[in-house]
Structure 1
Amino acid sequence: MGCLEAMKPEVLLSRCSFAEAREYIKKHVREYYEVEPGYKIHDVHLIGVPPLYVGIDGEDVVFPYTKPCHGTFVVKVAGGDAIGRLRSRRK
């Protein structure tokens, strides 16, 4: 598993529930996609209660990240190839 801190995240929402993270992304990010638990962004696997949303905000991705014993956070990191992978999920 990758290290979130190595991606220099901007924390948008701290210590929230999975539902609060989902609602934050829906409300604050125009372009978002539903992903399954275990979906990988860079080297970080997402965990949580479905549906999980990952947003695209310019050149960044916004997603919920859960740290055991610390809770769930909504973070923003540089998107890189994660943006193309998300957009290719459209059906």
Structure 2
Amino acid sequence: MGCIENLPYEMILPLGASFKECREYVEKNYSEFWYVDPGYRIFDEYLIGLPPIALGIDGNRIIFPYTKPCHGTYLLAVEDADETTRVRKTARKKK
């Protein structure tokens, strides 16, 4: 896909959220979540942050922290069945 900004996303936590706030929000608000390390690719973009990075899944929606260099981090939700399936196959369940 490429640029996150070109995806139809929903902003869950606003710009300026910390990595810890994003992880805690995902763990508290989603019954299915997975962990990845910095450098994990999602929608052809590499995630940056402090490990472990929590990715929530709600149906076909992926909830993930995205850091826009020079701007900050925010928590996004994007609906994509293929990417959701890939996360389930490649991420780990526990910290």
- Paired letter, 1:76: A
* Residue 63 of structure 1 pairs with residue 71 of structure 2: no
- Paired letter, 2:70: C
Name the structure 2 match of 1:9: 9
Partner SS, residue 49 of structure 1: coil
* TM-score normalised by length of structure 2: 0.86
Q: Report how far residue 88 of structure 1 moved.
A: 1.8
Q: Work out whether residues 4 and 43 of structure 2, in 8 Å CA contact, stay in contact via their aligned partners in 1.
A: no
* TM-score normalised by length of structure 1: 0.90
- Paired letter, 2:5: E
Q: Work out whether residues 26 and 32 of structure 1, in 8 Å CA contact, stay in contact via their aligned partners in 2.
A: yes
Partner SS, residue 85 of structure 1: helix
Percent of matched pairs sharing the same residue: 49
Alignment of 1:27-38 (within 5 A): 27-38=28-39
Alignment of 1:48-87 (within 5 A): 48-87=49-88
Moved over 4 A (4+): none
Q: Which runs of 5+ in 1 are unaligned?
A: none
Q: Which runs of 5+ in 2 are unaligned?
A: none
- Paired letter, 2:33: Y
Q: Report how far residue 32 of structure 1 moved.
A: 0.5
The number of residue pairs the alignment matches comes to 91
CA RMSD of aligned residues (A): 1.7
